Structure 1
């Protein structure tokens, strides 16, 4: 019982630290004279808790489909895109297996032959992903990426701690007020999925195909050209040249 109470205490302390950091950034942003730049991203608070390593957070919906994928750090942005385009990677494996995923250097290529070349070109040499486990399901994964071929014990422990706090406190809506405690509202800075699906809708009309096939077209072109899929999607939305 003592161990359980200590675990619960740690969970709530970690959640409070992350939320307090984010609240402080929001307060500074609101108090700054306009224009104050973009609204601070909640993902930045997670990154701060992990020593500013690149991080990728993936959340699932009720159908076990990706509802949101957000990243902090240039390497993580590239890794997010590579995982979406290739359909493989540490976050995907952590969600499917429900267990921790770890790989460094050549292990990356051995495990994910399509994902690894892109992230290694970006300088990533180690990845560590932890599933976000709630009492009855896995709701996503938290992945950290390093430019050194090592994940330290300190970083691994911090990632476990943050993932546990996210899954068991931050991402749990209040049963009393679910309409105002939707955890996805914390991430409303994210437009990655929105622009991809908007472009897919336009392509499905133009080519008389299903939205899923249109997403597949974007993924194939991004993989073939070595281009970020978000960039292709934005071009498609802006002037219809995403697949040109």
Structure 2
């Protein structure tokens, strides 16, 4: 099961440059990484008019897959698949990237559920405004003068683009911490779980809990205790 992390920031801040470096290095070290990039353009075709895949979509197919030897392209209609909010997309991305270690989201600054690293464009940027408007911020990435930022905002976590290894180490720790999402104890003793067993325990329970009234939309932790009273 993957963990999700967003690289957010204003246009031209360097999100793609940083993201590409992280993907390359993590992949070289054996991690499986996926990427989801947001785009505001609505009129640009991602499919070619009058080609077979385009014709199928125009005739009402909710999803079309173009299967080639070296790449598979999925064309999906969000409305026809009831993917109308990021909450719906969240579950979908989990299923698509199920066997991955990390999914890196570029953009998505307004999606509260995603933990984020904010890429600062320059010193003129209003960091206080960013902190006010965004939720789930893990830290900030700066291009230069990291000590200036640290002195001005000592309560925040900063990473320098020039100190690539420090940022990479942080991300690897982030992935490892997220991996153990299910802890099972029997009579107070921890039982080791393989990934697929943890998933079998977690996801049916998570789906059941989300359907209950009064449960917050963003679930950080679920604790269940069962006592044998027989």
| Fold equivalence (TM over 0.5) | no
- Calculate the TM-score normalised by the size of structure 1: 0.25
Structure having the higher strand fraction is 2
- The higher radius of gyration belongs to 2
Higher relative contact order (CA 8 A, sep 6+): 2
> Larger % of helix: which?
1
